[in-house]
């Protein structure tokens, strides 16, 4: 893992950098851990399996527990780290972002391969696996970021 200095304030991350070395092995660790969270409840502001997850809380928890890496807490802040990735070049472990609240980067999930991603969708739902090419998600796709080099 790379240790990167904070810039522009307490706890912020450098913009545009890949932050984790380890390639396929690290991507696989993250994906397997994230898939193990499928079925857990959604809770706004949630960031643990006992209390439930919101979308960005799931990302924070998955990166911390599987890779011991802290990422920013909100989807908007998460959209500013790592390296921007074109949709056709997605790899497992990339973060995928959506406009679900009439605001760019208002939703985030973790890409797991084969056009699928894991996310915590909304109140009264559970962490689940969805397809990027499903009409709802394809029409709201905002982009992707790679944090694992």
Cα distance between residue 62 and residue 36, in whole Å: 10
Catalytic site includes residue 107: yes
Give the separation between CA 111 and CA 62, rounded to whole angstroms.
12
**If you count DSSP H runs as helices and E runs as strands, how many of each does the chain have, helices first?**
4, 8
Burial of 103 (0-12, 13-18, 19+ CB in 10 A): exposed
* DSSP reduced 3-state for 46: coil
In angstroms, rounded to a whole number, what is the distance separating the alpha carbons of residues 36 and 40? 9
- The catalytically annotated residue of 26, 27, 47, 119 is 119
Q: Which of 26, 27, 47, 107 is catalytic?
A: 107
The active-site residue out of 31, 40, 55, 110 is: 55
The residues that bridge with 41 in the sheet, in sequence order, are: 126
For residue 36, what are the contacts with CB-CB under 8 A and spacing of at least 6? none
Q: Point out the residues that are catalytic.
A: 55, 107, 119
């Amino acid at each position: 893992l790379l240790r990167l200095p904070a810039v522009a304030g307490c706890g912020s991350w450098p913009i545009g950098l890949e932050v984790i070395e380890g390639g396929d092995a690290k991507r696989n660790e993250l994906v397997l851990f994230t898939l193990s969270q499928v079925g857990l409840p959604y809770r706004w502001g949630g960031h643990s399996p006992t209390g439930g997850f919101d979308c960005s809380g799931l990302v924070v928890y998955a990166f911390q527990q599987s890779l011991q890496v802290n990422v920013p807490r909100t989807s908007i802040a998460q959209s500013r780290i790592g390296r921007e990735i074109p949709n056709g070049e997605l790899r497992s472990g990339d973060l995928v972002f959506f406009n679900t609240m009439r605001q760019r980067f208002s939703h985030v999930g973790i890409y797991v391969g084969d056009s699928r991603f894991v996310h915590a969708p909304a109140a009264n739902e559970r962490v689940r696996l969805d397809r990027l090419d499903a009409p709802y998600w394809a029409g709201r796709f905002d982009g992707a970021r790679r944090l694992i080099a």
